[in-house]
Amino acid sequence: MSSQGRLALPWALALLLALGLLGLEARAHRAPDPDFREDYFEQFLDHFNFERFGNKTFRQRFLVSDKFWKRSEGPLFFYTGNEGDVWSFANNSGFILELAAQQAALVVFAEHRYYGKSLPFGEQSTGRGHTELLTVEQALADFARLIGALRRDLGAQDSPVIAFGGSYGGMLSAYMRMKYPYLVAGALAASAPVVSVAGVGDPHQFFRAVSVDFEDQSPKCAQAVRDAFRQIKDLFLQGAYKVVSQELGTCQPLTGQKDLAQLFGFARNAFTVLAMMDYPYPTDFMGKLPANPVQVGCARLLSESQRIQGLRALAGLVYNSSGTEPCYDIYRLYQACADPTGCGLGPDAKAWDYQACTEISLTFSSNNVTDIFPDLPFTEVLRQQYCLDTWGVWPRRDWLQTSFGGPDLRAASNIIFSNGDLDPWAGGGIQSNLSASVLAITIHGGAHHLDLRASHPLDPTSVREARELEASIICEWVAAARREQRLQRTWHRD
């Protein structure tokens, strides 16, 4: 990427010093306690059809904090919840709270329908026949109605709204600005893969990026990964299933190609998690992980004389962080789905699987040529068959491009797309400036939406600078929205 195509952070630092914003990172080594209040909003089941569900509602959960808010001055910071329990995102997005304390903002974290406790049909929500209302568009309409109600009920009609989100939530924050610009003054979309999920791009990009993380850490480690997978494949060809099971420590005996594909997916997923969560300090966002987990994983792998046993040790960082699992139940710990980067487990995983079978396109494959992993294709044809068998639906590969533009966002405004160069999702996002106000920030040494996390003494300089720049831009968006409000009042009086 050319230096002209992204925001160069150092030029902004003098401006930030003048604005007095450089104290934010220095002051906060942990996010301030927001004293969140958990509440529920009666949300329409279906925003776009007046017949089947009429005006029936469900309870949408949200968290709200007015601890930092100054009514006459502060904006409303709104986190567009993604594929999980809202508390998980609130507890891992400390930058929003730090910024709220600085800019006197009201803070809201909204839970996405069909996730956490925001279940339109209770425990049956992710069963076949009950998922039809799980769409990006329905979720955005939920957020729009919730924002309107909160502004009215909390006396925040004049508070400019800034949307925040990470990963899928980052996509939603950008889409909120695009779809509801009269409600949302700007959006910070961290690690938002708006290009790849729209069915655009290289299907081998993701696992190539994961591989690069391990190759850059240690070429010897990357070669050891290749060797381990090749040895497993060779042993399977020889019918030595028991040897593989013993060396890798699987709970069940392995017997054929179905087990081999599951085993490869299980192992590959461990590398995906380590690459995404390659933070410079310990975290518990996607399981309990040590600092620099890619480095630790490589050290574990190379510490074993046998490569398959080394693979077992590396996988233990993800699947046995407690050290209490006597063996790996590869079908329980990893469930193959329409997202080859991993859906997770439980009801939230089922909801995400459905989304990956409808609007969210995630046809990533590994090929053992451009990456270090086994040849595990996931083509659009395979996706279609899986989704038809599992959910009875046919994916619409290009729908998000039709609905929101995919990579062509030149008509949008006031969106920051931030990506860390360690994050395998970065290649599926916006990595260069698209206009004067649709901006890209690259965080060198940053993993998955590192900039949304709370400040930490071990943060790289790049993320400190990125947060400061984001803070200054958001401050200007809020000021511009306030100026627009004053102009409108003047016009109305005249």
Segment 419-478, tens digit of pLDDT: 999 999 999 999 999 999 999 999 999 999 999 999 999 999 999 999 999 999 999 999
CA distance 227 to 242: 19
- Catalytic residue (one of 339, 423, 451, 459): 423
The reported pTM is 0.92
Give the pLDDT band (50/70/90) at residue 29: low
> Does residue 418 carry a pLDDT above 60?
yes
Residue in 112, 448, 449, 456 annotated catalytic:
448
- Assess whether 472 carries a catalytic annotation: no
d(C-alpha 311, C-alpha 122), whole Å? 40
Average pLDDT of the chain to the nearest whole number = 92
Pairing of strands 57-65, 76-80: unpaired
pLDDT value for 493: 63
Give the pLDDT of residue 23. 44
Active site residue 167: yes
Which amino acid, residue 91? Answer: N
* Residues 6+ away with beta carbon under 8 Å from 177: 163, 184, 186, 187, 412, 413, 414, 415
Q: Would you call 423 a catalytic residue per the annotation?
A: yes
Q: How far apart are CA 439 and CA 6, in angstroms?
A: 7
Mean pLDDT value of segment 325-347: 94
Q: 125, 167, 191, 196: which one is catalytic?
A: 167
